[in-house]
Structure 1
Amino acid sequence: MSNLSSSSSSSSEEEEDGDSVSREELRDMMKLMKIECGEEDEVYSRPCCEKCKHVQQSHGKKIIPERLSRGRLQAQLEGEGTYECELTGLIFEASERVLVAYSLLSWSKFNTVVQNPWMIAGPIFNVHVVDRDASALKSVQLPHSLCLAGQEKEKLVLGVLHVTGQDPVIEDVLQSSGSHVKWTVSSRLSPVGAVARDAQRVAHHGAAMLYEDLDSGGLDAHVLRLYLASCNSSHVKDMKSQMKKGRFRAVDINTFCLLLEQNYSLMSEPSGELHSQHLPFTVQSLMFCGFFEAYYEQPPPFTLNLKVHRSDVTAWTATIHQGDLLGSTDKEPSALAQQLLLGSSNFTLQMP
């Protein structure tokens, strides 16, 4: 999009000819462009958990890495100190100036090596030092998704899966916090991710991620998909890979919830047409992420309630209003919007 001009007023003749676009239409066009371009919000955010937020702290100097091809990131650590990546939540402790390259991986390639009593507890990353020996990094802190409030540390063991060739090993951690595990860098760097032992009854910081299906609804219909994910960017990566066929838009609502490995049920008011009324949440089987789907033939508001299956315990609830859904305006962009999406610059932005 280039040469975007603006004016404080537009004539009625321009409006009739369709040569101007309002702020509201521009906002909706930007939403469509994000869908078409497949952009994803990769910024790491600490879970807003009321139970354990007192132990979640920021660490060191914040850095924004350079984006390379194929999802790879690269950051220059300027000298001895601690640095926190704002995109991934990784925390590096450096002993000298060093260039670090890293990328988010899918657990689907490695989850078979995490066997009971161990379980996945956070995202997995491939990390390596570009211009120095691995010893230039003293430690790496990896995000985890567990809610540790009230947990007895002697009963819950955290570790790091270190994938080294054909013999992946689970290594000890130096310490843990409400958001990270701290791992001492060994002689070599390779895929690493947080794991936990005997944590089946420990809740995960999770997200009820709601998407609007823009291809399946009609003019007066809305189709919503609800995925359950831990606050684990590898889990979310796997989930989004299943959504590449079709157009989906994230509904901007509060998503945070605490999730245990158990079955959940979805209820709706008005009832709508629900598919898969109950589903299990698990952090192990990540290759195929189940989802709830709700179909409505009436306009919002819709209230969704996620409950523990066969109980009255509510894990998450949200009300979706008219303005939350792109389909509440137009399923298809106007002719002017389509010109913008195709790169036309012959229009004027109508300002209030």
Structure 2
Amino acid sequence: MEGWQKIVRSSHAFPVLSSSGIESLSADEQDLEASCEEGAGCPEGCAEGCAEGCTEELPAGENGSESSSSSSSEDDSDTEESDTRRSDEEQEKKDSQPDRNESGGVNCLPHCEHCRNENAQREQVTPRRLAGGQYLLKLDADGTYQCSVTGLIFEVTEAVTISYSLLSWSKYAGLVKPPWVVGGPLFDVHCKAASALTSIAFPHSLCLGDGDSHPAFKVLHIKGAGAAIEPSMDYSASHVRWLVSSLSPVGPLIRSEEPLLYHGAVVLYKAVDSDPSLLFRVYVATNNESFIKDIAKAVKHSKKKFIKIDKPPVCQKLLQKGKRYRLLCEPEAEVTPEEIEFVDGSLLKLKSYIEVYLEKHEDFTLSLIELESEAVVWKAKLRESDWIHYDQNKNELKRNAVSIKRRKSTNSFSEEETHCGKKQRSNSTTDGIKTTNLLTDQQLMAIAKLFGAEWKEVAIECLQMEMKDIQQIQAKEQEVNMQKFLLLSKWREREQSNGTAQNLYNRLGEKVSYDIVQLLEGFMAQ
């Protein structure tokens, strides 16, 4: 463990990059992003092969060809209700401090009373977000830097630009063979000057106690259709450090003869429908960003619509494979299943969950209990205020969609725009039979106003617009909302009869905010 401290070198002054407001990429960044999207390997001259030490070659998995894809608790109290509520609220406020990172997942480095505290000082840097779930980090000097979003630690020997993305372990389940198990999230890292990136430290989800245990940490290095298990250089209470051999998907593995103890997380989702009852999904997971990302993806593709409930997710007691846990609800609710056996589901495509059903709206408390010791692992108080703002916002969006439909044309639009609107309306009927309506100017303006700073990336990636189109619009129009509107108008003109809400909804997919998705669904329902 002492060897881990040796890798930390003095930090250099570095301006933190803001993750809000995506700016135009530089030429170098554009080249880097393009190479990442194409799945290019490391540049010529990068050290190929495995790190020093023995490696175990693994057979190709059926999913190996996908390797280039980019992809709280509260205090447990038995006092009277008034004291319990006050205690819970105070503890919840305290626990709601940064347990969550910018991507909506759980912080990879939770405080744990069993883990040895680390005093290593590393420069915290915030990456720029790119489309497709990628992050971009521009480092101005040599040193050791830690990503504030993912927890990754990069050791570099010179100024470099690094891009990376979080991947799903389930895609590569065939490459992880017993006795090896997943130890933390899986990442795909790219660096234009690959030789300058000497080591990467990956966050892991295991609890190593006071440091007396000596688990066998290694890393799975996915190469094309196969993979190799390579040695780690060192590990700490929170990270596994790997000497970079070549750049492609890499993630930590662990082999241990003793039962593994995990830092856990409980993730909550509420069903959104017109039913007056309440339906929740409760996921019990390891504190592994790949696992938690998979959960969010599974919920998104569910037949029901769900929203995430923001509660402190980190478990205050460790989770152990094979132990049984029960979710309790006060007041009583239907909980299915009543008990679960904990397993790390990182490699499973289907993520198991507990369903909680309440017939009426009222405040309630959820508690995850370890059956063997009856210890409270996680606890949270849920109130209507936790989701009422979402419902109000959704209703407001529906009202806006209806008002836009009923609003008559005004003189604020140019003669050309009015003519365009008339042309759309005439195209909505064929031989007296109503067909799918084209998006109107008013609808496009409503959508444009909801787009954030990422609108250019969305236009290029999802709508197949070109940068020259954006530049031409910006040269003619200074107001940002009008720029977005004109771009959407250009897309509608190109699509002709396919310039519909349904087509735009299909193209934007998960790249836009939920507000835009709801607005488009409102347009489609008209």
8 A contact 2:270–2:278 mirrored in 1: yes
Distance 2:398 2:131 in 1: 33
Q: Which has the higher strand share?
A: 1
Once the two structures are TM-superposed, the CA of residue 307 in structure 1 deviates from its matched residue by 2.1
Alignment counterpart, residue 203 of structure 2, candidates 118, 136, 143: 143
Query: Structure 1 residues 97 and 52 mapped into 2: Cα distance closer, same or farther (>3 Å)?
Result: same
Matched, 1:213 2:213: no
Aligned-pair CA distance for 1:152? 3.2
Kindly indicate whether residue 299 of structure 2 is the aligned counterpart of residue 243 of structure 1: yes
Residue 230 of structure 1: aligned partner: 286
Question: How high is the TM-score relative to the length of structure 2?
Answer: 0.53
What is the CA-CA distance between 1:328 and the residue it aligns to? Answer: 9.8
What does the per-residue CA deviation read over 1:70-126, in whole Å, with 9 as the maximum and x for residues that have no partner? 112221121211111112111100011111111100001223322222110100001
Aligned letter for 1:168? A
Q: Which one has the bigger helix percentage?
A: 2
Contact (CA 8 Å) 2:109, 2:203: kept in 1 or not?
A: no
Conserved 8 A contact 1:43-1:87: no
Matched with 1:61 is: 123
Q: CA deviation at 1:317?
A: 2.0
What does 1:196-345 align with in structure 2 at a 5 Å threshold? 196-198=254-256, 201-215=259-273, 218-219=275-276, 221-244=277-300, 245=302, 246-257=304-315, 258-262=318-322, 263-284=324-345, 285-309=347-371, 312-326=374-388, 333-334=395-396, 338=400, 343=446
1:166-177 matched pairs, under 5 angstroms:
166-177=225-236
Which residue of the partner structure matches residue 349 of structure 1? Answer: none
Query: What is the deviation of 1:223?
Result: 1.1
- Say what the alpha-carbon RMSD is for the aligned residues: 2.8
3-state SS in 2 of match to 1:333: helix
Q: Kindly provide the amino acid, as one letter, of the partner of residue 235 in structure 1.
A: F
Distance 2:150 2:239 in 1: 12
- Look up the equivalent residue of 1:173 and give its one-letter code: S
More contact order relative to length (CA 8 Å, sep ≥ 6): 1
> Do the aligned partners of 1:210 and 1:227 also contact (CA within 8 Å) in 2?
yes
Q: Taking structure 1 as reference, are residues 286 and 336 closer, same or farther at Cα in structure 2, changes over 3 Å only?
A: closer
Deviation string for 1:141-193 (max 9, x for gaps)?
Answer: 10101111145333x1111111123441222222211111111111x111111
Structure 1 or 2, whichever has the larger Rg, is 2
Please, which moves more after superposition, 248-257 or 278-287? 278-287
Relative to structure 1, the CA distance from residue 330 to residue 197 in structure 2 (aligned partners, 3 Å threshold; closer, same or farther) is: same
1:47 and 2:110 correspond: yes
Letter aligned with residue 223 of structure 1 = L
**1:152 aligns to 2:212 (yes or no):** yes
Counterpart residue identity of residue 218, structure 1: D
Q: Which residue of 1 aligns with 2:438?
A: none
